[in-house]
Amino acid sequence: MDRRNFVRSSTLATGGALLACTATPSLAHNTVKTPFDVPVTYIPIVGSDEMFPVRRIYCIGRNYAAHSREMGSDPTREPPFFFQKPTDAIQHVPAGTVADHPYPSLTKNYHYEAELVAVLGKGGRNIPVEKALDLVYGYTLGLDMTRRDLQRALGDEKKPWEIGKSFDHSAPIGAVHKLAQTGHFKQGAIWLKVNGQTKQSADLKDMIWSVAEQIAKLSEAFELMPGDIIYSGTPENVGPVVRGDVIEMHIDGLPNLSIKIV
């Protein structure tokens, strides 16, 4: 398959209000016959006519000490842990827009989590921390939207928290900025406002596990591949939103990301 043509033809097919970058790829250059098309998820790359293809979404839990404490953990004793969201949970939100975001079913306590997202252009296993940043293609910012009541209830019952974290539209995200455009993110303000009022406000340097350490740790458990993206955890003061609320999040060096809960 000609990858370039595959991506271009898919780009033409993008559309729809919610999942603007979940495109149905053209099969024109694909020799595999299938009974139906399955969407592939792409995120636009700033300053490029190419799209970033998303293979897996990894998320790290409790990666800021104060957030870890508010979730009931002792951050000094816990190694990092990870979970995944499905790639079609992505809702790309173009910079300068406020995307409608559906309040999900089954929850009465729907939470925001503002996070830096690293996107990988290379992969590997057992990557040493000193080499880990070589895998990074670029960065963006995203929201790890969470059905907090379900996450907590399932955790209390020692059941997987899948439907608390890994549901449709649960990963609003900005466009990818190439590394050359931003450099690595090791410090800088990260904040989130709801209806103009500051809710989360912290610094990326307060992450317990750096992006490099996250990549190294993840690569012990999984073979990382190009197209994998990593939500790097949220600071303290997560909280609920209801229909009509507007969330705006910021990371120094990236355009803000905004959604309206509908």
For Mn ion, give the closer residue by CB, 45 or 249. 249
48 by Cβ neighbours in 10 Å (0-12 / 13-18 / 19+) ranks as: exposed
Is residue 151 within 8 A of residue 166, CB to CB? The reply is: no
| Least distance CB 39 / Mn ion (angstroms) | 24
| Least distance CB 170 / Mn ion (angstroms) | 10
- Closest by CA position to 43, among listed 10, 4, 84: 10
Out of 87, 144, 147, 194, the only residue in the binding site for Mn ion (CB under 5 A) is 144
- Segment near Mn ion (CB under 5 A); pick from 23-31, 108-116, 126-134, 150-158: 108-116
For Mn ion, give the closer residue by CB, 6 or 185. 185
- β-pair partners for 248: 193, 258
Contacts of 242 (CB under 8 A, 6+ apart): 103, 110, 261
- Segment near Mn ion (CB under 5 A); pick from 27-35, 216-224, 233-241, 252-260: 233-241
* Separation between Cα atoms, residue 172 and residue 177, nearest integer Å: 16
- Segment near Mn ion (CB under 5 A); pick from 97-105, 121-129, 202-210, 227-235: 227-235
Is residue 103 within 8 A of residue 185, CB to CB? The reply is: no
Task: Answer yes or no whether residue 234 interacts with Mn ion by CB under 5 A.
Answer: yes
Task: Answer yes or no whether residue 85 interacts with Mn ion by CB under 5 A.
Answer: no
The residue ranges that bind Mn ion (CB under 5 A) are: 113, 144, 234
